[in-house]
Structure 1
Amino acid sequence: MKMKKTTIGVAAAAGLFGSLCIWAGAASAAEKFSDLQYSQWAADSIEYLSNRGTVAGYGNGKFKPEGAVTRGQAVTFMVRELYPMGVPEAAGSAAYTDVSPTHPFYREIAAAAKTGLAGGFPDGSFHPDAPITRAETASFLARAYALEEGGKHMQLSDADSSWAAAPIRIMSSNGLIGGYADGTYRPNQSVTRAEFAVFMTRVIRFEREAAIGAKDWDKLMSYMTLNEQVGQMLMPDIRMYKGQPTTTVNDGLKDIIHEQAPGGFIVFDKNIVNAEQLTTLTDGLQAEEAKAGDIPLFLGVDQEGGVIKRIPGGTNLPGQMALGATGDAGLAEAAGKLTGEELKALGLQLNFAPDLDVNSNPDNPIIGKRSFGSDPDLVSSLGLATMRGLKASGVIAAVKHFPGHGDTTVDSHLGLPVLMHDRNRLDEVELKPFKAAVASGVDMIMTAHIAFPAVDDEHVVSLKDGSSVPIPATMSKKVLTGLLREELGFKGVIISDAFTMNGIAEHFGEAQAVTRAVNAGVDIILMPQDPAAAQRTLVKAVQNGSVPMVRIHDSVKRILSLKDKYGLFDRGESLSAKLASLKGVIGTDQHRQVERTIAERAVTLLAGRDGKHPDLIRQGDRVAIVAADEEQAKQLESQLALAGAGKLLRTQVVVMKPGKANEAMPAIDQADYVIAASYQFRNTASQFSWSDSQAVIDELNKRDKRYVLLSLGNPYEMLYVRNVKSGIAAYGKEEPNTAAAIRVLLGQLDPQGVLPVAS
């Protein structure tokens, strides 16, 4: 069917109101009706319109579905759709002899009269309390939505003789109304409230489907309620429901989807049992959304690889700093591609990765080995390659944390970091990878809850203690609109970091924070503390003018465009087909080989007596594995047994408690070789308890033992531990990293990596 531009195409509309867009009704709390048990055929439509704020009950939980709809009520339902912000006061007089200013639907009938939405009778009356007929229903709806004749042909024996023959034909030819078994339409029969809800819902959904098919996002937005548009800008966390992990589509999720219409969800490890369960969950979420509406969900996850991973049984990779040590953009692209393939198979289309932070500060407590390194050119090269891989697999890359979180000494989960560098330094280091990403067409960028006074020196009063605190990037218009959009030219979607983090939560309060963030330029609020409250806050902010409606429209249009770009509107395979395909994608041998290659290429020599190799484990050695964590030590022991089969090795695990290095000495004395494992992450390197490692190294040197200082975390040991004769960095305590390190210690591999951070 050829669709007109969605405006009221009548001369009367050109006056006071101009062209009247078909907007959905204003947001309001949806009623729950108790009397629909005998009208289940219409229950979905009634709920749909109630959620939109279009229809209402009688205030006592009753909808009275079999009651007649009056002409006044029908006009009111449509006007609520047409005027999302309320009926304009300028609607003027109803101009009908039987509609007085005291009539409950006076203002709505007046608006309909002014716009030509509905007409009266030749005698100047409107009959507001008369039941609306099926003929009038067809006429009202066809006129309101400027419908044109469609391609379906239905023979209705009594329609052609009706005064409403044309609108009946238009409605029936688009499948929006039907007749009875005897081939009649019965145009003069009155319409029940349930029937009118069904007819109106069909038209709205028909128009929305047409807009989606035409990729006409402006038109689609004109049919979205304000509540629904704001919902697209929220991406809640669904980890728990009633104290239990959310692993199925429970009642809480259903309520959120139907009542809040969120743009998506982020999943965490608590939501995941295995690949089959996760696929069933994501499929169920999209299916529930399809019942509630027609805009698919973003389903996102943090799958950086290494220490930040969520997928059990998947290919979790050695991590970004391991890739940095390889310096190989081809491997980075392969890592991005296999990650994307696995996420997409699981029903996840959005990855909050790669991390483009330049980790130039060893004391950074939160980024560290999540970064590719301390060289902005290396971070740019590998970050862009990872983006290409994700995009090639059909998964959105959300790069983070703009404008840069790599040189902070405060974790923004716990406080508000402030980066004091001048603009020249920001351009040369922090901003460089993001500039490259924007130039390469990145689709989504995540903000940092970090203040950058060189870009925005505004301060506000903290709700925490009344002190003056700088505004973080997430809430700064100068950073997000001025720098990112206008200066760097970013056209994609801006998503905030989690609003549960203290960098935002403790200083600003969610109501202030979400309003300021949206005005600053954020398109999606990630993990609001109270999603329903955040939605109400933004709806109210639009209604009172503190957030311009154009800001909401701009964000929603970008969100819809991105969902379309990555095929989210194509509902795809059945659940059974998705489950059947998992085995051929998740953790395949091909993917595992990429994982092993990265891990093996990454192992880096920190110190060696010959300058090329660490001390090697020999045939028949007694090996002591000294670590601060028993699980970590046991994993190394297991890897050594696997890779060293045939070497007749004997091993002993020593768990070294803080300040108790002396307790490891008996095992060290008996050993021929010592693996001294070190793991520093999520704390500042300069304040880490290096004294235990130093004590062990000193004793090993004194005893002239063969050994290795094995760095499994941030590779800053050489800055703080002196006189190390033999050391390597593996960049992770996970299986691929430790397996590669053990192979190097057995002489099966040479250390090939290059330290990607300054030391």
Structure 2
Amino acid sequence: MKKKIVLILLLGLVFLIPTQAGQIPRLLRETDETEMNRWVDSVMQRLTIPERIGQLFVVGVENNLSDRNKDLLKSLIEQCHVGGLLFSKGTAENQATLTNMAQALSRVPLMITMDGEWGLAMRLKETPSFPKNMTLGAVSDDSLIYAYGREMGRACRRMGIQVNFAPVLDINSNPQNPVIGNRSFGENPDNVSRKARLYAQGLEDEGIMAVGKHFPGHGDTHEDSHFTLPSVLRNRAQLDSCELSAFSRYINAGFSGLMVGHLFVPALDTTSDRPSSLSPDIVTGLLQEEMGFEGLVFTDALEMKGAGSKTPALDALLAGNDILLKPLKPKEQFEQIVKSYNEGTLSQEIIDRHCRKVLQYKYILGLDTCREVGIDSLTEDLNSLEARTIIRQLSSQAVTVLENKEEILPFTHLDKKRFGVISVGKQNAQPFVKRLQEYAPIENISRLNTQSTDKEIKGIVDVISHSTQTIIAIFSDKKEEIQLAEKILKKATGKVLVFFTSPYSIPKYEELTAEAEAIIVAYENNPVMQECAAEVLFGGTSADGKLPVSTGKYPQGSGIFIPECRLGHAFPEEVDMDSRILSRIDSIVQEGIDSMAFPGCQIIITRHKKIIYDRAFGYFDYEKKRPVSTNDLYDLASITKAMGTLPAIMWLNDHEQVSLNAPLCFYLPEMRDYGLSAITLRQTLMHESGLPAGISLRRLLIDPDSYSAPLLKRGRDSEYPIQVDKDWFVQKDCRLKPWLFHNKTSRSYPLHIAEELYASPSLPDSIWHKILSVSKSDRRYRYSDLNFVILQKLTERVSGEPLDRFIDRRLLQPIGAYHTTFRPREKFPISDIAPTENDRLFRQQLVVGYPHDELACFMGGVSGNAGLFSNARDMAKILQMLQNNGTYGLEDYFEPTTVLRFTTDKSSLSRRGLGFDKPDTDTPAKSPTCEEAPQSVYGHTGYTGTAFWVDPDNDIIYIFLSNRVYPHRWNTRLFDMNIRTRIQSVIYQSLLPTPCTVQ
């Protein structure tokens, strides 16, 4: 991304700050002290003592717009003169509305705070939920933590929030801790401290106060301070080396806020049952005097049971806290402090000192010019692309691999594996499964939990018995479900465990983990994390996460690197493309659909091995009964040449079984008998054989006795009602030759041509001999389907097996292109195949799952020129393999030199390459690509409305699949409107300048 270099430079500043004990907080250092004091003095002068006391209170407020809640808020402001608010759970719009109301009522701008440890979503609905800190503790790329802090700061500013109660600085050294757990960055003080500081700097670089918590450290407790007073029973040396270490470094880095927890720490204050938040020894003596913290000191919520005291607000103030957070009865607590002042037990000096400090930070945080929070587009602004990108990057980088026996991950040799997926727990594993299915056929999917019936358990046993690789997604740490899983899944082969739970769950699955070939920790359960974990299994993204806590036999810091070796997913900005510009593609496609240029389509765009655009639009037909999905199959038409026949030729050339400069007759001796002996393989690939574009099948297939008049005629009339092209019509009585076709299959008619239409096995031979008999032209370049039918024959003759079987075995199955096939009706339901033309001449039906191209169809469905079906995702795998110089999924398909030769060689006579099409640089107006495409681009188009283009210079793959020939072939709107090239042009317009790198 463009910001990457800036982020790296900025985050480095965290570690350049001097490390002597205590620092003037950086936000204070960067403020004009004269102007600040002028504003603070002016406010102090007009505040009464009760109003100054009120400034120290940040009270809890319900997040709803009821009259009762508004009246309560008004009374807190007008009667208690509160200094700030902390809203409860609710919606962003409600909080913004209440914030605007409250700020308008208050004489002094209110400090709006947020408890957003994992984003606004911790309190606000329909806002981005970032990974928990435990997950972030596994992330190796610390620049992402800083970026997360910046994004959180931006979101707070948009919400009118000045303070976020984060980061958590607690060291989670006690796995039984009931309240910290995944809220901590882990058990290593260095890792916790570093990540907390990076996050805090991100917040404060956006002008939002970071509040580290829970001083002096809540990590080594086994009780929850919400309900009782937990004890931390460590000695001072242990506290200094662990708990206090992270706080000390945070303070020395100059951050502005700290929260004191409700903890009994006898090594720091021996007063019986006195919480740290109310302890002068801890708040003033240790935190401010010994450790030198000069920022704003917040109590933890005083309504918590751990606070204990009958006068917690007063006691907290006397202990040295600046902000009295969320007391249970704020009016009563406020009046107690006023009473204490009036009785002389609380000095004005203490009140003024703390009030002045609060006002200073209000100025620092921009509250001298408080602005209204805009409600319009609020939710949209909070759910920004930047937020979604950071969430995905953090999730992906956190995935941690703990076991990888015999390097089973990433999965290879997909053609030799049968995958089954079993989830343990009641949670929905659909995002995980859907992403897995993008890589390999996964049909055996089951859910195991305590409510599983005997029938369902039997189904799970069947899954196990039919799978060679069993992926077990674990969502539960319940004892009953663990016992059930270990009993039922014991016999599963090739077990790979993926934990969507705390890493502390791992040792609970003792038997399964002992037998597992691989163990992955994904830390938490959400759709993004499920998708990231699935990609790691297949190498769609790399894994470099490090375990943030020790669990079972795995120490903190454990983690095995898994390389990226297949296509993964990313947002456009991650690969330096502008998603806002790419969104123009949607409107171009919709324009095409509305104009009936095509009923629907699939589009994929990849860059730098990442899918950044993957969409299905429209329907199979104009009746709009069946929406297009990304898994559906399209008839590729002439793309078969480049995706089916050409890889076979490349393989044979790679293995020195064919030579590009050898004459075809060397492999097909019968060509000598037809005067075709001089044509070379290279000429055939470049369409320089001189053969015509195709052959007419009408005389070969139609019975001449079925009609008396001319077969074709311009214009429709009663004798010529069957339209076969824009202006041409066929005689109504014409029929196929009855001795070649039958409506039922048999030994005499085994070739399945269409529904209730079967052909004689002699038909392909007849077509082949007709091809050989055509007149060869003197023209040196002419695009011809016949060239690739000949190449099919050559492949089959040299390899000794049919073309479809050859590429399926050597390319499609190993690479995971399991939606790519000839004769798709033999493998897929017709409901998953887009229809093409309503053929009223030969097949007399709507063609679905049979080649639209008549030559390929009557050859039996397998032909070198057409007949291959696929979807955009499968095609992207094959094309990415070419971009990788012949490698994909850690398997080699071609030598790099072979790929380079076939993708770069170009004819001197035309724009054609070795089987691929290329931009027409001599006549750009006739080029099949957009003007922006460089000369290095290669690809192909298909008559049915398909295209792909690979750009090695910019590392871009663009695939467009449609069925523009539905319901008839003379619909040329796709070409007339330049839909495919306009989309390609938008792709180039979206490219962002490549960021510089610093050595």
CA deviation string 1:165-222 (max 9, x = no partner): xxxxxxxxxxxxxxxxxxxxxxxxxxxxxxxxxxxxxxxxxxxxxx987535356324
Give, in angstroms, the shift of residue 558 of structure 1: 1.2
The 3 A distance-change label for structure 1 pair 587 and 743 is same
**What CA distance in whole angstroms lies between the structure 2 residues aligned with 1:535 and 1:675?**
58
For residue 401 of structure 1, give the secondary structure of its aligned residue in structure 2.
strand
Q: Which residue number corresponds to residue 718 of structure 1?
A: 506
Within the alignment, does 1:484 sit opposite 2:287 as a pair? yes
For residue 447 of structure 2, give the secondary structure of its aligned residue in structure 1.
strand
Within the alignment, does 1:524 sit opposite 2:355 as a pair? no
Q: Which residue number corresponds to residue 145 of structure 1?
A: none
CA deviation string 1:611-662 (max 9, x = no partner): 6738799689664443433xxx22x21342256347443364536239x898
Query: 1:174-213 alignment to 2 at 5 Å?
Result: none
**What CA distance in whole angstroms lies between the structure 2 residues aligned with 1:265 and 1:359?**
29
The 3 A distance-change label for structure 1 pair 214 and 496 is closer
Q: Which residue number corresponds to residue 541 of structure 1?
A: 340
**What CA distance in whole angstroms lies between the structure 2 residues aligned with 1:734 and 1:426?**
35
* AA of the residue aligned to 1:628: G
Q: Which residue number corresponds to residue 386 of structure 1?
A: 199
Give, in angstroms, the shift of residue 228 of structure 1: 1.0
Q: Retained in 2: the 8 A contact 1:690–1:721? A: no
The 3 A distance-change label for structure 1 pair 473 and 213 is closer
| Identical-residue share of aligned pairs (%) | 29
**What CA distance in whole angstroms lies between the structure 2 residues aligned with 1:450 and 1:612?**
47
For residue 237 of structure 1, give the secondary structure of its aligned residue in structure 2.
strand
Q: Retained in 2: the 8 A contact 1:323–1:331? A: no
The 3 A distance-change label for structure 1 pair 569 and 610 is farther
For residue 153 of structure 2, give the secondary structure of its aligned residue in structure 1.
helix
The 3 A distance-change label for structure 1 pair 249 and 652 is same
Within the alignment, does 1:558 sit opposite 2:357 as a pair? yes
Q: Which residue number corresponds to residue 486 of structure 2?
A: 697
The 3 A distance-change label for structure 1 pair 218 and 423 is farther
Q: Retained in 2: the 8 A contact 1:356–1:401? A: yes
1:260 pairs, out of 72, 75, 80, with 80
Q: Retained in 1: the 8 A contact 2:36–2:363? A: no
Query: 1:85-164 alignment to 2 at 5 Å?
Result: none
Q: Which residue number corresponds to residue 802 of structure 2?
A: none
The 3 A distance-change label for structure 1 pair 676 and 527 is farther
The 3 A distance-change label for structure 1 pair 667 and 472 is farther
1:502 pairs, out of 296, 305, 310, with 305
Q: Retained in 2: the 8 A contact 1:605–1:612? A: no
CA deviation string 1:376-428 (max 9, x = no partner): 01111111000110011111111110000111110111211101100001000
Q: Which residue number corresponds to residue 96 of structure 2?
A: 279
Q: Retained in 1: the 8 A contact 2:203–2:210? A: yes
2:423 pairs, out of 626, 631, 647, with 626
* AA of the residue aligned to 1:719: P
Q: Retained in 1: the 8 A contact 2:127–2:379? A: no
**What CA distance in whole angstroms lies between the structure 1 residues aligned with 2:230 and 2:545?**
32
CA deviation string 1:699-728 (max 9, x = no partner): 42x313344433233211333331401321
Q: Which residue number corresponds to residue 78 of structure 1?
A: none
Give, in angstroms, the shift of residue 491 of structure 1: 0.7
Give, in angstroms, the shift of residue 733 of structure 1: 1.5
Q: Retained in 2: the 8 A contact 1:398–1:446? A: yes
* AA of the residue aligned to 2:146: E
**What CA distance in whole angstroms lies between the structure 1 residues aligned with 2:335 and 2:86?**
21
Give, in angstroms, the shift of residue 358 of structure 1: 0.7
Q: RMSD between aligned alpha carbons?
A: 3.0
The 3 A distance-change label for structure 1 pair 503 and 612 is farther
Query: 1:26-45 alignment to 2 at 5 Å?
Result: none
The 3 A distance-change label for structure 1 pair 552 and 696 is same
The 3 A distance-change label for structure 1 pair 704 and 450 is same
1:269 pairs, out of 69, 81, 89, with 89
**What CA distance in whole angstroms lies between the structure 1 residues aligned with 2:472 and 2:478?**
14
Unaligned runs of 5+ in 1: 1-210, 460-469, 681-687
For residue 243 of structure 2, give the secondary structure of its aligned residue in structure 1.
coil
Q: Which residue number corresponds to residue 591 of structure 1?
A: 387
Give, in angstroms, the shift of residue 356 of structure 1: 0.7
**What CA distance in whole angstroms lies between the structure 2 residues aligned with 1:603 and 1:698?**
27
**What CA distance in whole angstroms lies between the structure 2 residues aligned with 1:691 and 1:428?**
39
Q: Which residue number corresponds to residue 532 of structure 2?
A: 740
**What CA distance in whole angstroms lies between the structure 1 residues aligned with 2:259 and 2:305?**
17
**What CA distance in whole angstroms lies between the structure 1 residues aligned with 2:455 and 2:167?**
42
Give, in angstroms, the shift of residue 678 of structure 1: 4.2
For residue 213 of structure 2, give the secondary structure of its aligned residue in structure 1.
strand
Larger Rg: 2
Q: Which residue number corresponds to residue 109 of structure 1?
A: none
Q: Which residue number corresponds to residue 60 of structure 2?
A: 237
Give, in angstroms, the shift of residue 431 of structure 1: 0.6
Unaligned runs of 5+ in 2: 1-33, 552-999
**What CA distance in whole angstroms lies between the structure 1 residues aligned with 2:403 and 2:483?**
15
Q: Which residue number corresponds to residue 215 of structure 1?
A: 38
Q: Which residue number corresponds to residue 129 of structure 2?
A: 316
Give, in angstroms, the shift of residue 300 of structure 1: 1.2
CA deviation string 1:210-267 (max 9, x = no partner): x987535356324312221121111111126xxx676997222122222221111112
2:151 pairs, out of 333, 338, 358, with 338
**What CA distance in whole angstroms lies between the structure 1 residues aligned with 2:119 and 2:450?**
25
Structure with the bigger percentage of strand:
2
Normalising by structure 1, what TM-score?
Answer: 0.62
Q: Retained in 1: the 8 A contact 2:37–2:360? A: no
Give, in angstroms, the shift of residue 341 of structure 1: 0.4
1:570 pairs, out of 365, 369, 392, with 369
The 3 A distance-change label for structure 1 pair 704 and 430 is same
CA deviation string 1:287-320 (max 9, x = no partner): 222xxx1x21111112111797234343322122
Q: Which residue number corresponds to residue 804 of structure 2?
A: none
**What CA distance in whole angstroms lies between the structure 1 residues aligned with 2:343 and 2:309?**
20
The 3 A distance-change label for structure 1 pair 479 and 646 is closer
The 3 A distance-change label for structure 1 pair 530 and 612 is farther
* AA of the residue aligned to 2:403: A
The 3 A distance-change label for structure 1 pair 508 and 756 is same
Q: Retained in 2: the 8 A contact 1:249–1:285? A: no
* AA of the residue aligned to 1:744: V
**What CA distance in whole angstroms lies between the structure 2 residues aligned with 1:617 and 1:689?**
35
* AA of the residue aligned to 1:520: A
Q: Retained in 2: the 8 A contact 1:621–1:650? A: no
2:430 pairs, out of 605, 630, 637, with 637
1:302 pairs, out of 115, 120, 144, with 115
Q: Retained in 1: the 8 A contact 2:149–2:198? A: yes
Q: Retained in 2: the 8 A contact 1:625–1:637? A: no
1:440 pairs, out of 241, 253, 259, with 253
The 3 A distance-change label for structure 1 pair 474 and 664 is farther
Q: Which residue number corresponds to residue 649 of structure 1?
A: 442
Q: Retained in 2: the 8 A contact 1:616–1:706? A: no
Q: Retained in 1: the 8 A contact 2:119–2:128? A: no
**What CA distance in whole angstroms lies between the structure 2 residues aligned with 1:344 and 1:248?**
28
